[in-house]
């Protein structure tokens, strides 16, 4: 499986001949808990993320096939995997694989880790916390319009609980809402709620997957598979004492969940 070999490794050294991620719109910010979001909600429709670990011998057949696909299906799935790796692995880890396009050119990909929400996924299956935190992270990165916006990601769960410093809190004061769910179940689902006080800020930033998109009749639409349940005050209560994040939210699937990611804007 020469064009589909995938293995988590340490971050590449300078001079490695790999396809650079560059500074494109969906590049991920380095340091702290800031991340660019531009994940298409169409990519969330894939259910091929159920491999046991981020390694070549743990990919199921659907995932390996999608990762190598030279068409639109492959483009969407590779984008999903890139964001998944960014959410799950640490900055010292990366996910490498190669695929061949329709012109016969080989692309050697290196997807770097960033937030480290489930960094042990390179060795063993995700536990329940890892599944839910990675799912919430992917939902938080989703943008209805494919527009890249720098967001501050916060949670009571480690490691995000300790990543946001005073400068970031001051620079990103507009809490837009919260995300939670589980993409790793037989019936994947994602939820989002909005902070009523900052709905206008979120919509102005093209963050309708948090604020909710209004259709022609003024009704609230979901963002692909992300079900926008309404006000965070109703689903999650108040922000924590520091005003940084929602501590937990009510989940119709599993009851109250603390595996929630809160996002904030400039």
pLDDT at residue 31, rounded to an integer: 37
The SS3 assignment for 189 reads strand
pLDDT at residue 51, rounded to an integer: 58
- Residue whose token pair is 């340490």: 10
pLDDT at residue 1, rounded to an integer: 26
DSSP E strand stretches across the chain = 7-10, 34-37, 93-100, 106-112, 149-154, 174-182, 189-194, 213-214, 220-221, 226-231, 249-251, 255-257, 261-265
Distance set, CA 202 to CA 152, 173, 174, 194 (Å): 13, 12, 8, 9
Q: Is there a contact between 249 and 213 (Cβ–Cβ < 8 Å)? A: no
- Strands 226-231 and 261-265, by their bridges, are unpaired
Domain assignments of the chain as residue spans, ordered by start: 128-265
The CA-CA-CA angle for residues 144, 162, 223, to 5°, reads 15
- In angstroms, the CA 194 to CA 211 distance is 5
The CA-CA-CA angle for residues 40, 119, 242, to 5°, reads 75
- In angstroms, the CA 39 to CA 147 distance is 9
Q: Is there a contact between 89 and 119 (Cβ–Cβ < 8 Å)? A: yes
Distance set, CA 167 to CA 152, 170, 171, 172, 173 (Å): 11, 5, 6, 9, 10
pLDDT at residue 45, rounded to an integer: 62
pLDDT at residue 21, rounded to an integer: 30
Q: Is there a contact between 246 and 236 (Cβ–Cβ < 8 Å)? A: yes
pTM score, two decimals? 0.83
Per residue in 159-173, pLDDT (tens digit) is: 999 888 889 889 999
pLDDT at residue 224, rounded to an integer: 85
pLDDT at residue 15, rounded to an integer: 34
pLDDT at residue 64, rounded to an integer: 82
pLDDT at residue 164, rounded to an integer: 85
Per residue in 191-207, pLDDT (tens digit) is: 999 999 999 999 999 89
The whole-chain average pLDDT of the chain stands at 81
Residues of the chain whose pLDDT is less than 50? 1-32
pLDDT at residue 103, rounded to an integer: 96
pLDDT at residue 39, rounded to an integer: 78
């Amino acid at each position: 499986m020469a064009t589909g070999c995938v293995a988590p490794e340490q971050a590449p050294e300078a001079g490695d001949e790999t396809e650079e991620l560059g500074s494109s719109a969906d590049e991920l910010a380095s340091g702290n808990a800031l991340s660019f979001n531009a994940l298409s909600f169409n990519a969330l429709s894939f259910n091929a993320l159920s491999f046991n670990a981020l390694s070549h011998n743990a990919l199921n057949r659907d995932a390996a096939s999608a990762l190598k696909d030279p068409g639109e299906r492959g483009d969407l799935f590779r984008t999903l995997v890139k964001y998944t790796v960014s959410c799950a692995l640490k900055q010292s880890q990366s996910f490498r694989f190669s695929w061949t396009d329709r012109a016969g050119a080989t692309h050697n990909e290196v997807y770097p880790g960033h937030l480290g929400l489930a960094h042990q996924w390179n060795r063993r299956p995700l536990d329940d916390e890892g599944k839910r935190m990675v799912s919430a992270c992917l939902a938080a990165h989703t943008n209805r319009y494919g527009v890249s916006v720098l967001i501050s990601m916060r949670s009571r769960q480690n490691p995000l609980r300790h990543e946001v410093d005073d400068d970031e809190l001051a620079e990103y004061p507009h809490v837009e809402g919260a995300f939670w769910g589980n993409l790793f179940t037989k019936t994947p689902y994602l939820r989002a709620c909005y902070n009523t006080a900052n709905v206008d800020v979120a919509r102005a930033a093209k963050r309708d997957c948090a604020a909710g998109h209004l259709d022609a009749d003024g009704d609230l639409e979901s963002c692909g598979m992300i079900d926008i349940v309404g006000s965070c005050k109703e689903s999650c209560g108040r922000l924590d004492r520091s005003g940084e994040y929602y501590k937990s939210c009510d989940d119709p699937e599993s009851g109250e969940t603390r595996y929630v990611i809160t996002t904030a804007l400039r």
